[in-house]
Amino acid sequence: MNIDELIKKVEQKESDLVELRERWNRRAAGFPALPDEKQENSFAFLEQFMTLKDIQLLDVGCGSGRYLLLALEAGVKKVVGVEIADKMLEKAEQTLTEASWTTADYELVRSSWEEIDLTERDWVRKFDLVMALKTPALNSVANIKKMLTASRYAFFFSNHLQRIEPLFQTLYAKVHGYEKAFGNEHAHVLAELLEAWGYKVETHTFEISEVRDEPIADLLIRYGDWIFRDFPTAEEKDWLRKELVELSADGETVRHTATTTEAYSFVDVRGLDPTSL
């Protein structure tokens, strides 16, 4: 594919910022404070290419602050998180303060990445590392160029390639009559676009399989968003709760499996001017 074709594929999904803020505020209650990094450690991957000691890091779409915490524990000097959802930022603040980090170590910014002005914030070439992990902000070429412009050394991003979650797919089929497939080639297309622009991209693809005992309260939020067009009505939520309770051994959690194929990509941004792309 040529560059124009790659740009079109990267931007296939449009982001409604109001809807995104509402969705992630809803999901904040059931969002984990810490990632499960037992099988794949994102910072171990990064340390193959750069040191994390005493660097400045920007996390676009930082969510509950889980990767900000891991970054600080890995030796990063200062982390900055940008997040569109207020409730996610509240969770990030709690995550970091409970781990005894202070505002000398981190800064949290409530904003969409689209609303960030790099010049006003003095963020042009400000950070040694800019990362964007499974965030809708990756669905915009303008956003990606802004991430590249904010970094003076490296850009790190990740995305789902495929997710198999039989519990969700069974429930989705009961509502819609067919199973919804999870997965897209966005991570690979974005890597290909960056290479077409002249960047060297190092990508690691891996699979994580896990068995979860997930609280029904969390599943109601997550699956409610995924199964129904909008957040479920009271009737839809009641139906979903009954379905989950029937599958529960204790009335509070449901054991189910999930297999995810993901990709990590590291990009050395030195030597190229993103404004010329």
In this structure, what token pair is assigned to residue 233? 């009505």
Coil, strand or helix at 231: coil
Q: Which residue has the higher pLDDT, 41 or 247?
A: 247
- Find the mean pLDDT for residues 53-58: 97
What pLDDT is recorded for position 40? 56
What does the alpha-carbon distance between residue 37 and residue 30 come to, in Å, rounded to a whole number?
18
Q: Closest Cα partner for 156 from 52, 264, 51?
A: 264
What pLDDT is recorded for position 128? 98
What pLDDT is recorded for position 14? 66
In this structure, what token pair is assigned to residue 105? 């170590």
Q: Tell me: pLDDT of 217 over 60.
A: yes
Which domains are assigned to the chain?
3-269 (3.40.50.150)
Give the strand pairing for 106-110 and 78-83: parallel
- Is residue 195 within 8 A of residue 188, CB to CB? The reply is no
Q: CB 229: neighbour CB atoms within 10 A?
A: 6
- Find the mean pLDDT for residues 117-136: 96
Percent pLDDT > 90 in the chain is 66
What does the alpha-carbon distance between residue 110 and residue 174 come to, in Å, rounded to a whole number?
38
Q: How far apart are the first and last CA of the chain?
A: 17
- Find the mean pLDDT for residues 104-132: 97
